[in-house]
Structure 1
């Protein structure tokens, strides 16, 4: 093999071979200065956001990313200056030596509440080259511990309808009394308050939150394009407030602030059982508007008894059931200052907790893009249906022509049946996904405001095709930055990547959810298996750190981590009725595995520090649970008693959830749980302790690391003796996932490991190289095979198109990831399942590392291993990610016996290129390599 190497010191993001990620993220160019010396650009963000306002962190973290055009290969020192709006420097670090980590924690004087600060940064490389200061970026603090002057207020209203408790079977059976919203749902409420601005406005900030969800208006204009504020959180402990710059919306003289309130997560139907009133039965609102006049005077307008309320044109709105609007009622005039509100009722001030109000430290939910209808057609059953061509999360915007009083319904689904007719793919109570419009005369536009759906298809009743003038789908989700991409010579894998990305976007709504239609819950197991894949494609650092704050808040005193975070009180009741516990192996373990995944991808050790106590309490909980004496303990042999405390088998576990070979059985789902729970629980105990040891090492906790190495040794021994026979059979089972999970745990070594591997490979071959793995084992499957001498088996599974497999989804028209491997049966019948679940998309991590060839050798991509498998069966691959340091890229292409590789290593990083067992060391910059193979 002969190398021909071309090198360039240029480290400019978006250069040759890029997918122009910067063009997709215009906001990423803010806070950037074109440097006239050795640096091209410096990007700065604060708490993972561009120009955040209302952050409640007293010691915010600044992150920088530099691009060099000349000079050295690493950053040796920095100087950061933070200046208050009064011009006084709050912190000047001076020249500070650094090991090159791109994170700087604020260490200046105490920051003031509700104050604007600017930040600028200069850098030195290892050669002593000094940059100029970057263009300032800014951040604005929130309340901190200052007292809200505003009062919680409530519009005049009746208590919300509280749904009855259901048993398990009732949750899954749609019955007539479960349908329809008019009887059980109450109208949304309009709130307004007039006030006088007695001078020219220099600065105006509005702080707001709600029991429910809200949309704000000033003088008839929307305050923000964000949706569903204050968004979801662990509302027993955390309720986000939002900060808005409303300077440009106010004028001297009379102004009016208005809000619409809807049920949202506080009151609305949530969880598997569709329960209502998880946190309360009444809508509430709090708002504080602070004005600074041009002459220096200040004023404050607060929520109080002067606010007035009335019913809204939105007759009801629920996140699951849908929204009903009546456009014959006023939906615009009431927002204006001149509106006569004398007939409205005054709001009531109420006592409610203000201590849980916390500045929202993550990006907002927004409309990310619009998609035009791909096809509008009548089904064989003569239903009018719109096909948007893509499964997504969001709402529709429909332009129609109709007579006054016409009632039009818009019913959403992710699939149609095999005959082309509309099908509701989600069953259960309060899963309607149906919006309703009561028309005014003539032309009108309908767009729901306080709900969102999982859908591709919309069935319309009440009008004909000619009356539907236009239809668009509004794709919604948290405003995440796209940082990664992958493409290759196999269009099926490209489609799989497309599906992975869409299921990510569809399920990041304040928290990582399982699906956007049936549950919309923060299932911990789903994001646990998906963190690495998600973190490659999108910047999830700040988003998942925010979710982990909710995990810590919801952790029980005994250390238990709920299976769902935020931990809805009534969802917890449902879970405990079903299983007796509110936690499970592979689900609760997210409190260790998610922070470690974030540390691996983003290199910020602070995420480990923040969650370290939570991890310790969780492992104490697991240790106590494993240590309980099971039924029949007195009959155990001495060896069984010795290993019993190291086997996590004494509580409920989901096990290897959703195993395809068991799904068709009458008790398939729960049978899979029963057959796999013991092995999965005990093996995940080992896997999580293994990761906790790595956390301890990163934090310098050597004593704890040593203690847990001893614990890990005992767990592995117990797993091996309890579950693995001498011939390699695991738990007398023929389920692939059990063999995968035992191998992933490290419980078997040497000859026994080889036997377990052979058994696994035989099971795969006997299953015609199709999958038979569930949620818990799937993230390990391909690596277990690849790393232990069976790469060809791993690739046969990856490229398999028969059911069940990843590409079976693609071959059957999937535009997102399915919850079940066989969501569409082989005869084309769609099942009652979710078609937008990202968990099985965890395969992306394997693809990016082994086909794309980008592997993390040191957390945060500080060191990179470029190790593409040129024997994977493809002829080209193109892979890149914007790491914390900058752009990491590798493109490779085979032409006959030659291979061309192009790539990029960011400033401050180094890399090893490994091709066909030959290695080449690379420093920062771009490279092109040609070799004969």
Structure 2
């Protein structure tokens, strides 16, 4: 085994760490099979090596020295002496064998602590500015019928520039800036931007968890006079947010906080602070809004009329060092197709729906005005079409030019788009156009490909919707709302955790969820829970919580635990889960309005049914969307079933969590409750013939089965009914947000895997491949966003929720799934009968690279070659055609075949590729397994 690198709090440049127990994350080296140090050269049952770790401070003093730490988990939590604020530390880690002898090279990392609760010397300052305009509150009717009149920009204010001059000598040993803002900001030293980060301080629950950033500015300083400055924009603090485009969720004024510490060679520290001596002026950026867009005026001359900032008496107990990597440019699309549409518009097509901005290099005359309008689609005639409607959803960037060649790159906004309409210049003036992909950088860990290019495109679409919606928080879409909808990430998390390492990203978001939880235990449907979005949701539904959505407080920590094997995420969020489960019990105990008319049996079932408060239900059911009242009708028909059935689903997982954490008394209480809930749901909503809630909506049957509500013959009847509905719908799905992630597994596990694959490979809408057939490059919110006649609708074309099918694909077709938390034991069970010729799946587990690839032999209809790689420190289970083999770590090559004369006969041949001397390949064993 070889250690590749070491991350601190999952960051490569860990400055400003505020955690008292930072976590050191070991990444393993991916080795080739002919590497003499490769663990995959033979079945090895040798004891795993252990870690030896030392942590020393900036003076070389050792603050933690630990050996014998088990290497079965790559996450090592600091257990040394208390860390000191604003101090540098070095971490050295080596592998040791059982005798304490080093078994590999030392790998090092460094980190630097932040304030860690120390008081700030700086003060919040506010530039001279007019208070922001708070948008008019909209009624529910106004929200759904609003036609934007384009007046949003007129209500916006200029961005502000703040500046302070300071003196610096030549003897500086280190230089740090700690900064945050009410709004978003870019930091400059001597006019140079000091970081690639964007949209700092990013999105969080500001009332208790406002991030500050730490910068190493040493390379930007010069002896003598220097300047520190920042440009401030509205961001999430003031800007328009959510469905209704409301503003001023946290305040009406921009603010800035900055503490610079210049440490000299003798150890003395000079501080430069934001205070009454900081000055401000309006910026050439005339406004910037996350939704409306950004406007630059390069003819604007602010002059030298700097105005003193005002010191604001604002508490600082909500400040916290940023716990996740900074939002930044992650990818670039260059050389778009530039063309004129049939209607005469100049349009750029970047070929991929993304979240980001355009960097435009152009030549123009002073005063020329360039307008960039962003959209994810063209209409059926090939003309530009704004696909996102509503108040303050402009997605329009404006640039007033100076003379000559110049570059326009918006700084404080981002959009969802593929197409950009350009007006104000002609094509010849565009020298270069690039689409910059903006988001939180995440480590890619999972890959899938196969012989069906449509499925490969679906995987591409899933990943790009995930990339587009991981911008500081997990969002629903990058254009219309940019909100942290809890239901979306609940259904998508298993898929997301396979594609990218989401451990730190979602753990940081869960802290915001803990803050957003109400005193009564209620979890809001969006996190952070912005003030006006909370009001909007309560106007729409009378509540700001729902089953499936709020249940993310249990399920997301569970998915993280299963994916990465670190129980700390369960411990950290357990109290939140307890409060939520108490909230559900209280909601179940509510007496319905018709309680007096209920039978004694119905009254006895009432405390176990979560059907008295608002739920989204099986949100956005395809067959109902065409109706004017379709969304509301879907909620009415499904809310009670989904709320009550999913309650049982969450109880099952909460019981498991209680056992893991040793909360046995609570586990016992919920083990007693679970059968009562299942019985109440079954008797209330499931008829003896398997009909659910007297209706024919597929999602209800899926939820009853997925949540384990019924057993035996009744379970089979429900499954049979579901399949009948699917067949009647020509193998098209009719499931909403809540049920879709369970659909294919429910079919697969109830004897209908052929139906599951027919649904997966269906190209008629609604289906996953209908999107692919209609040239999608990301996942859509609406299954039929493009009608069968090829007419695009006003929908979001970048919603990851329906990408939840990836989890099924990786497990069933790719053949990799966890048999124990953190992939300590891995199940390799590729379905060779899925209809494909080959598939390749790989996952960088916490213990190393797992791989499963298989290919049908061209000359034989029922013969396959399979290759499996089991990482060190894990065990594998290979399951094929009903047979099972236990695998130690290593790389295996199998040949599997099926008898053509008797379908129930299966034969499995195993060959292990070992390290035999001479030939280089040794057959370690061969067996024929038969079942009949």
Where on the TM-score scale, by shorter chain, does this alignment land: which range?
over 0.9
Residue in 2 aligned with 1:27? none
Does residue 877 of structure 1 match 2:839?
Answer: yes
1:312 aligns with 2:283: yes
Matched, 1:911 2:876: yes
Question: Displacement of 1:175 after TM fit?
Answer: 3.0
Distance in 1 between residues matched to 2:108 and 2:262, nearest whole Å: 25
* SS of equivalent to 1:187: coil
* Aligned partners of 1:743 and 1:753 also within 8 Å: yes
Contact 2:870–2:888, Cα closer than 8 Å, also in 1? yes
Conserved 8 A contact 2:336-2:433:
no
Q: Which residue pairs with 1:346 in the alignment? A: 308
- For 1:848 and 1:107, the matched residues in 2 are separated by 37
Q: Which residue of 2 aligns with 1:172?
A: 144
Over residues 747-798 of structure 1, what are the superposed CA-to-partner deviations in whole Å (9 max), with x where a residue is unaligned? 1000000100000000000000001000000011000010111100000000
Q: 1:261 is paired with a residue of what secondary structure? A: strand
Deviates more, 1:596-605 or 1:61-70: 61-70
Distance (Å, rounded) in 1 between the aligned partners of 2:404 and 2:582:
65
Q: 1:721 aligns with which of 676, 683, 691?
A: 683
Partner of 1:69: 38
Whether 1:107 aligns to 2:76 is no
Relative to 1, partners in 2 of residues 1:592 and 1:794: Cα closer, same or farther, differing over 3 Å? same
Tell me what 1:653 maps to.
615
Q: In the TM superposition, what is the alpha-carbon distance from 1:293 to its structure 2 partner?
A: 1.6
| Distance of 1:73 and 1:688 partners within structure 2 | 39
For residues 793 and 513 of structure 1, what CA distance do their matches in structure 2 show? Answer: 32
Instruction: Tell me, yes or no, if the aligned pair for 1:804 and 1:821 is still in contact at 8 Å.
Output: yes
Alignment partner for residue 264 of structure 1, among 235, 259, 277?
Answer: 235
- Looking at structure 2, the residues matched to 827 and 839 of structure 1 have their Cα atoms a distance apart, in angstroms, of 25
Could you report, residue by residue, the CA deviation over 1:803-826 in whole angstroms, capped at 9, with x for unpaired residues?
Answer: 100000000010000001111111
Partner of 1:893: 855
Aligned to 1:8: none
Select between 886-895 and 604-613 the one with higher mean Cα deviation. Answer: 886-895
Alpha-carbon distance in structure 2 between the residues aligned to 1:74 and 1:148? 49
Matched, 1:534 2:496: yes
| Corresponding residue for residue 927 of structure 2 | none
Distance 1:97 1:403, change over 3 A: closer
Q: Matches of residues 364-443 of structure 1 in structure 2 within 5 Å?
A: 364-443=326-405
Question: Is 1:84 equivalent to 2:72 in the alignment?
Answer: no
Q: Distance in 2 between matches of 1:876 and 1:700?
A: 44
CA distance in 2, matches of 1:418, 1:271: 28
Q: How does 1:547-626 map to 2 (within 5 A)?
A: 547-626=509-588
SS class of match (2:226): strand
SS in 2 for 1:172: helix
Distance of 1:693 and 1:128 partners within structure 2? 39
Conservation of the 8 A alpha-carbon contact between 2:90 and 2:110? yes
What corresponds to 2:122 in structure 1?
150
Q: Does 1:833 find its partner at 2:795?
A: yes
TM-superposition CA deviations, 1:230-258 (whole Å, max 9, x none) = 00101121100011111111122111111
Q: Distance in 2 between matches of 1:75 and 1:138?
A: 26
Match of 2:890 in 1: 925
- Kindly state the Cα deviation for residue 402 of structure 1 after the two structures are TM-superposed: 1.8
CA distance in 2 between counterparts of 1:368 and 1:400 reads 23
Correspondence list, 1:759-838, <5 A: 759-838=721-800
1:234 aligns with 2:205: yes
Residues 87-143 of structure 1: per-residue CA shift (max 9 Å, x gap): 0001112x3353722222111110001111111122234687642462211111111
Structure 2 match to 1:731: 693
Cα distance change of structure 1 residues 181 and 438 upon mapping to structure 2, 3 Å threshold:
farther
- Taking the aligned partners of 2:662 and 2:71, their CA distance within structure 1 comes to 17
Distance 1:353 1:930 in 2: 67
State whether residues 73 and 126 of structure 1, in contact with CA within 8 Å, keep that contact through their aligned partners in structure 2: no
Residue 911 of structure 2 corresponds to none
Q: Distance in 1 between matches of 2:451 and 2:214?
A: 46
| CA distance in structure 2 between the partners assigned to 1:720 and 1:99 by the alignment | 46
Q: Structure 2: how far apart are the matches of 1:793 and 1:126?
A: 52
Query: 1:30 matched to which residue of 2?
Result: none
Q: How many residues align?
A: 884
Q: Give the Å deviation of 1:927.
A: 2.4
Q: Distance in 2 between matches of 1:134 and 1:735?
A: 59
1:433 Cα deviation (Å)? Answer: 0.3
Matched, 1:851 2:813: yes
Deviations along 1:44-101, one digit per CA (max 9) or x if unpaired, are: 22212223111110011222244553686553532211110110001112x3353722
Partner of 1:223: 194
1:254 aligns with: 225
Aligned to 1:10: none
The answer to which of 613-622 and 365-374 deviates more is 365-374
How many Å apart are 1:579 and its aligned residue?
Answer: 0.8
The answer for the alignment partner of 2:928 in structure 1 is: none
- Whether the 8 Å contact between 1:173 and 1:427 is mirrored in structure 2 is no
State the match for 2:915 in structure 1: none
1:103 and 1:604 in contact (8 A); partners too: yes
Deviation per CA, 1:810-849: give whole Å up to 9, x if none.
0001000000111111111111110000000000000000
| Contact 2:94 2:107 survives alignment (8 Å) | no
Q: Please state whether the residue corresponding to 2:286 is helix, strand or coil.
A: strand
Contact kept in structure 2, 1:72 and 1:127, CA below 8 Å: no
Q: Matches of 2:164 and 2:336 in 1, distance apart?
A: 43
Tell me, yes or no, if the aligned pair for 1:74 and 1:907 is still in contact at 8 Å. no
Q: Could you say which residue in structure 2 is the equivalent of 1:18?
A: none
Aligned partners of 2:54 and 2:93 also within 8 Å: yes
Question: Structure 1 stretches (4+) deviating beyond 4 angstroms?
Answer: 70-74, 125-129
Aligned CA RMSD, in angstroms, stands at 1.4
CA distance in 1, matches of 2:97, 2:777: 46
Change over 3 Å in CA distance of 1:74–1:51 after alignment to 2: farther
Q: Deviations over 1:390-445 (max 9, x none)?
A: 10000001122222111111110001100111111111100000010111122221
Match of 1:288 in 2: 259
In the alignment, the residues of structure 2 paired with residue 854 and residue 449 of structure 1 have an alpha-carbon distance, to the nearest angstrom, of 41
C-alpha distance in 2, partners of 1:465/1:904? 52
Deviations 1:130-180 (A, max 9, x none): 424622111111111100000000000110011000012322334354x14
Task: Measure, in 2, the Cα distance between the counterparts of 1:74 and 1:562.
Answer: 47
User: CA–CA distance in 2 between the matches of 1:50 and 1:175?
Assistant: 46
Unaligned runs of 5+ in 1: 1-38, 335-339
The 8 Å contact of residues 153 and 292 in structure 2, kept in 1 or not, is answered as no
Q: Secondary structure at the match of 1:395?
A: strand
Q: Any residues of structure 2 matched to 1:479-558 within 5 Å, and which?
A: 479-558=441-520
1:194–1:97 distance in 2 versus 1, CA, 3 Å: closer
